[in-house]
Amino acid sequence: MNSLNLIRLLAAVATLVAAGHASADSTGKWQSSQEVYNKVCGYCHEANVGPVITGRNLMPEYISAIVRNGNRAMPAFRESEINDAALAGVAKLVSTSPAAAAKK
Ligand code: HEC
């Protein structure tokens, strides 16, 4: 990762934390897997901060493991941020999405 990407990543993390984006609505539930993708994953993965993850047939198990544990520059998300059901949903969505369709 070059330093420009690192700066973008740090800015994205800071904004996510400050805006509380990485959390569900007041009922504690995400409305849909698409909402999780748009509000959390898309924040980096649709903005050239993280690599494109849609349209690559990535395995749902692999996606879930990266989200829970983090991987190098990818931050880990806890159950309190994205619960297991929401994570399973977004992993399936990403896994099966064609490259550009996850944006809608
Ligand atoms: C704060 C920015 C950020 C957010 C938010 C984020 N990611 Fe990432 N993600 C990254 C970066 C950066 C990498 C590349 C890590 C590396 O290789 O150093 C990455 C890597 C990944 C990978 C591995 C991709 C590959 O090519 O093998 C997967 C899968 C992934 N992210 C899924 C997700 C999912 C699903 C979400 C939403 C729940 C999410 N990420 C949210 C920044 C983010």
More confident residue, 46 or 1: 46
Q: What is the CA radius of gyration of the chain?
A: 13
The gap from C-alpha 2 to its chain's centroid, in whole angstroms, comes to 21
67 lines ligand 1 (CB under 6 A): yes
> Measuring CA to CA, which residue among 91, 74, 84, 73 is closest to residue 33?
91
Using a cut of 0.85, tell me whether the model's pTM lies above it.
Answer: no
74 assigned to active site: yes
pLDDT of residue 86 exceeding 60: yes
Look up the CATH architecture of domain 3-103: Orthogonal Bundle (1.10)
What pLDDT was estimated at residue 99?
A: 77
What pLDDT was estimated at residue 5?
A: 72
Task: For residue 51, report the distance from its CA to the centre of ligand 1, in Å.
Answer: 7
| Residue 57 falls in which region: left (phi positive, over 0), alpha (psi -120 to 50) or beta | left
**% pLDDT > 70, the chain:** 73
Contacting residues for 27 by C-beta, under 8 A, at least 6 apart: none
Task: For residue 10, report the distance from its CA to the centre of ligand 1, in Å.
Answer: 13
